Structure 1
Amino acid sequence: MNVAPLPEGDWIRGISIKQPWTTAILTGAKTIENRPRPWAPGWLLLHASVQIDRRALRLPMVARTIRGRELPTGAVIGVARLTGCHQDPDGAPPCTEFAQPGAWHLELVDVQALALPIPARGQLGPWRPAEDLVDQVLQQLPHLRP
């Protein structure tokens, strides 16, 4: 896997994910995130983008996962540690029911929800959060460190 390391001093990045997928990760049901390219391991701010995947709301596996939960958008709502990336071998069954064939599956562990969503702007691909955003996350999760 050809993945560029994080620049010196970078220990956390942001990942923007449409709802309801972000909330499915926070529940622990969705342990991977599908992406077109692999990412380097490390801590991620889970940013719920402003767009909602409305088709996904009708999928039974999603509906039962997010039932009764709020779906905040345009905010960082949690953190997770990315431990690796993989693609399912051709012809093999998917690694989870949330896996998309042909995509890179970012393996997420140590998922923690924030008590209060932090409004923020995300972007495509891994993004570097501003220091004040990281400070706001650390106020809610003071034990989180590189």
Structure 2
Amino acid sequence: MKALTIRQPWAGAIAHQTKRVENRTWKLPPKHLGSRILIHAGAQLDKSAIVYGPQLDVFSAIVAVATINDCHWSDDGTCCGPWGFEKAYHWTLDSVTALAEPIPAKGALGFWTPTEETINAVLAQETGEAS
């Protein structure tokens, strides 16, 4: 299972709000289409983000699990509702499950492989088993 680091507040919006698109400058590698991935809240805040309401203040942790079900280019950003950016690839997400307890982890650029311990901790929360 791979993980994807996303800066806050975007990772929190995926986990706890209605954000179901990840905007990227690069096309999704075909091997990841349909994959279940871990959503990792990065160590830094996206300072260009306009945040309304309380900000999720979790950093450097896995906060959710999601499936990437599509990737398409958008010139105007309107195809994916208010979360879609213009002139970007939209990676659409489905079956998003927020973790009850964020799991601390160091992230990386692009897709990265979490430790076996981190993956087991995520799976334990998804299945409701004690870790």
- Which range, TM-score by smaller chain? 0.7 to 0.9
Once the two structures are superposed, the pairs formed by residues 13-52 of structure 1 within 5 Å of their partners are: 13-39=2-28, 40-41=32-33, 42-52=35-45
Q: Unaligned 5+ residue runs, structure 1?
A: 1-11
Alignment length (residue pairs): 124
C-alpha deviations, 1:51-101, integer Å up to 9, x for none? 011331xx2xx41xxx3453200100111111110112x467342212121
Under a length normalisation based on structure 1, what TM-score does the superposition of the two structures give?
A: 0.77
Q: CA RMSD in A?
A: 1.8
Larger deviation: 107-116 or 25-34? 25-34
Q: Unaligned 5+ residue runs, structure 2?
A: none
Distance in 1 separating the partners of 2:9 and 2:18: 12
- What is the aligned partner in structure 1 of residue 68 from structure 2? 82
- Give the number of the structure whose residues are more often strand, by fraction: 2
Structure 1 residue 105 displacement after superposition: 0.6
Identity %: 35
List structure 1 runs of 4+ shifted beyond 3 angstroms: 90-94
Distance in 2 separating the partners of 1:75 and 1:112: 15
Structure 1 residue 27 displacement after superposition: 2.5
Under a length normalisation based on structure 2, what TM-score does the superposition of the two structures give?
A: 0.85
Structure 1 residue 30 displacement after superposition: 0.9
